[in-house]
Amino acid sequence: MKGYTREMRTPFIAGNWKMHKTIGEAVALANELVQAFGSVQDTTIMIAPPFTALSAVAPIISGTTIALGAQNMASELSGAHTGEVSALMLRDIGVSHVILGHSERRHVYGESNELINKKVKLALEQGLTAILCVGETEQEREQGITNKVVGEQCEKGLAGVSSEQMKKIVIAYEPVWAIGTGKTATPEDADATHEVIRKLAASLYSREVADKLVIQYGGSVKPDNVKELMAKENIDGALVGGASLTAAQFVPIVNF
Ligand code: 13P
């Protein structure tokens, strides 16, 4: 975005392992990643193993530059919520980041903007960094309402979040049609949507908040397309699914 200062943002590459990997497999991959970039300083790196592997992965990456993320979180802190995992439990294990509002949560499990907003606020209150995922479906893109859908997801997802708390918000723009399909938004299209998000942050908050807001792109990010995506002014990082499941693919993405 013209005049906005990219230097104020550290690149952030995150791996969302989704529902993959047993504890043994997760430990093996975490060890490989620590070997590869335990001391990388100029990029924020995060991995989000499944809940069952978090406590086994935590001690392996502790003290390295790799942060531990969770893929979801309950909207309540404790109580009768069978099958849910609370922010308190995540913090207890050493989780620092949580992915919220992923398109699979929105579209497969019916999470609304209101529910996601509740989770975002709770995560922030608990000192976690929230990665708020937004993105349009293929039908919405064809209807020409991408900016409206993404804008609404951002605005509703961030309702009640203060300027100060925005320091612990990352936005991940993941067009639903690009996730796991091998189709990527062109760097130009992705950058244009990122710019819309950054302008919205400037209008909801301030120029400074917008300057500092890290916006990741997600959707079929691979070693061979990460560089051109990251070259765009408003693309500050990547939220990687399939290609984060092996060191052979994830390491070159981090070293874009
Ligand atoms: P893929 O990289 O497999 O398309 O997944 C993207 C994603 O959903 C990351 O959260």
Q: Ligand 1 within 6 A of 157 CB?
A: no
Q: Which band of pLDDT confidence, cut at 50, 70 and 90, is reported for residue 53?
A: very high
CB 87 within 8 A of CB 123: yes
Instruction: Specify the 3-state DSSP secondary structure of 200.
Output: helix
Residue 5, pLDDT above cutoff 80? no
Is 1 domain-assigned? Answer: no
Tens digit of pLDDT for each residue in 118-161? 999 999 999 999 999 999 999 999 999 999 999 999 999 999 99
Q: Which atom of ligand 1 is nearest to the CA of 99?
A: 10
Q: State the average pLDDT over residues 76-86.
A: 98
User: Which one from 111, 174, 194, 195 is the annotated catalytic residue?
Assistant: 174
% of the chain beyond a pLDDT of 90: 92
Report the C-alpha gap between 191 and 172 in whole angstroms.
12
3-state helix/strand/coil string of 108-175: CCCCCHHHHHHHHHHHHHCCCEEEEEECCCHHHHHCCCHHHHHHHHHHHHCCCCCCCHHHHEEEEECC
Is 85 domain-assigned? Answer: yes
Domain of 218, CATH number, reads 3.20.20.70
Is 197 domain-assigned? Answer: yes
The pLDDT assigned to 139 comes to 94
The pLDDT assigned to 3 comes to 59
Q: Ligand 1 within 6 A of 174 CB?
A: yes
Report the C-alpha gap between 89 and 79 in whole angstroms.
12
Q: Ligand 1 within 6 A of 101 CB?
A: no
The pLDDT assigned to 124 comes to 98
Q: pTM to 2 decimals?
A: 0.97
Place of tokens 């990082």: 237
Q: Ligand 1 within 6 A of 134 CB?
A: no
Tens digit of pLDDT for each residue in 187-205? 999 999 999 999 999 999 9
133 C-alpha to ligand 1 centroid (Å):
11
Report the C-alpha gap between 90 and 67 in whole angstroms.
13
> If you count them, how many residues does the chain have?
256
Tens digit of pLDDT for each residue in 194-253? 999 999 999 999 999 999 999 999 999 999 999 999 999 999 999 999 999 999 999 999
* Domain membership of residue 78 as a residue range: 6-254
Phi, psi of 64 (to 5 degrees): -100, -175
Q: Ligand 1 within 6 A of 175 CB?
A: no
Q: For residues 182 and 23, which has the higher predicted lDDT (pLDDT)?
A: 23
User: Which one from 102, 111, 194, 195 is the annotated catalytic residue?
Assistant: 102
80 C-alpha to ligand 1 centroid (Å):
31
**Which is nearest to 131 in space by CA: 40, 214, 244?**
214
The pLDDT assigned to 7 comes to 83
Total domain count, the chain: 1
Query: Poorest-confidence range of 5-9, 22-26, 120-124, 170-174?
Result: 5-9
**Which is nearest to 96 in space by CA: 77, 75, 76, 73?**
73
% of the chain beyond a pLDDT of 70: 98
